[in-house]
Amino acid sequence: MTEICIGKALYDRFKTLNEFSGINYINENNIAYPNVSFEPPQNKRWFELSFLADKPTPASIGKEAQNRWSGIFQIDICTPLAKGIDEANAKYEWIAMLFSRGTCFGDVEINSVYKAKEGAEKDYYRTVVRVEWTADIDN
């Protein structure tokens, strides 16, 4: 197995945000995936997702030992410029609960979630959320 299955698990977990929060934050047109054509919505509300994995290390000794992977799942929350930070903060709070420390799904365990930075871009406001994870998967 490779880190591809870990990335899929994290993307799939993110796609449960509406059900988890009870709020219709995401739809088919407001998620930007890596290397997929994307046109930002007119309302300037979308998410950009990135999956970053480090090189694996052996989780234990032996030929059959699993590989331990670690990395970051980054969620950029994009909101309208000059509208304040309440909307971005509300989305961040729900994402932080969805990926709270100690949460496990499949082989993935969440180590931490935090705002890495935030600020105005040319015509929207970006809040960068990082989810640090580890996973032990078969070699």
pLDDT in tens, 113-137: 999 999 999 999 999 999 999 999 8
Report the predicted TM-score, pTM, of the whole model to 2 decimal places: 0.93
Query: What pLDDT, on the 0 to 100 scale, is given for residue 61?
Result: 81
Q: Nearest 5°: phi and psi at 122? A: -60, -50
- For residue 77, the SS3 value is strand
User: How would you classify the pairing of strands 67-80 and 31-32?
Assistant: unpaired
Report the distance separating Cα 129 and Cα 139, nearest Å: 30
